[in-house]
Amino acid sequence: MPNFSLTTNWNIPAPIETVWLAMLDTEQWPNWWKYVKKVEEIKEGDSFGVNNIRRYFWKTCLPYQLILNLEVTQLVPYRSISVNVSGDLEGKGYCKFSVQPQHTSIFIVWNVKTCKQWMSHWPTISHPVFVWNHKQVMKQGEKGLMQRLSYDQ
């Protein structure tokens, strides 16, 4: 199964508190992130959100969908969130938040492998296509979050 190390940096022109709360409220992602179709809570987790498991139904730019379970393994308020990923992809991910002069920066990392059999064929061809697709999905997430927060301010 092909492995992917994918990084994205979002620069959101809003205070870190506002950005943090929007990112934690993942059940609302379908309202502002074009490619998130649905989010279901599988397990609540503790009062800080650690061990919370949610299932995410993703549409992509390409004609396929992904279903991912994300389990929060570590959460440091206003600093970072780490997750285990299972489902159509398997591995780990994290987001690091930082305050910049004009925006909040979110550095997002996915270290995952594909679990769908068809995604593993022809890795020399599929790898750049999946990376491109990931970038498009993430670009829309950044754009959607900026639009959502501009309406809230």
Alpha helices in 1-122 (DSSP H): 16-24, 29-32
Residue carrying the six token digits 């950005």: 19
Q: Is the predicted pLDDT of residue 117 greater than 80, yes or no?
A: no
User: 1 and 111 in contact (C-beta within 8 Å)?
Assistant: no
On average, the pLDDT of the chain sits at: 93
In the chain, how many domains are there?
Answer: 1
Reported confidence tier of residue 115, pLDDT bands at 50, 70, 90 = confident
Alpha carbons 11 and 16: distance in angstroms, whole number: 11
pLDDT of residue 128: 87
Q: Write the CATH number for 27.
A: 3.30.530.20
pLDDT of the residue at 152: 60
Mean pLDDT of 18-41: 97
pTM metric for this prediction: 0.92
Cα 88 to Cα 92: distance, rounded to the nearest angstrom? 13
Please give the single-letter amino acid code of residue 20. W
C-beta separation of 141 from 59 below 8 A = no
In the numeric block, which tokens belong to residue 55?
């299932």
For residue 106, what are the domain limits? 3-152
The better pLDDT of the pair 53, 63 is held by: 53
The more confidently predicted of residues 122 and 64 is 64
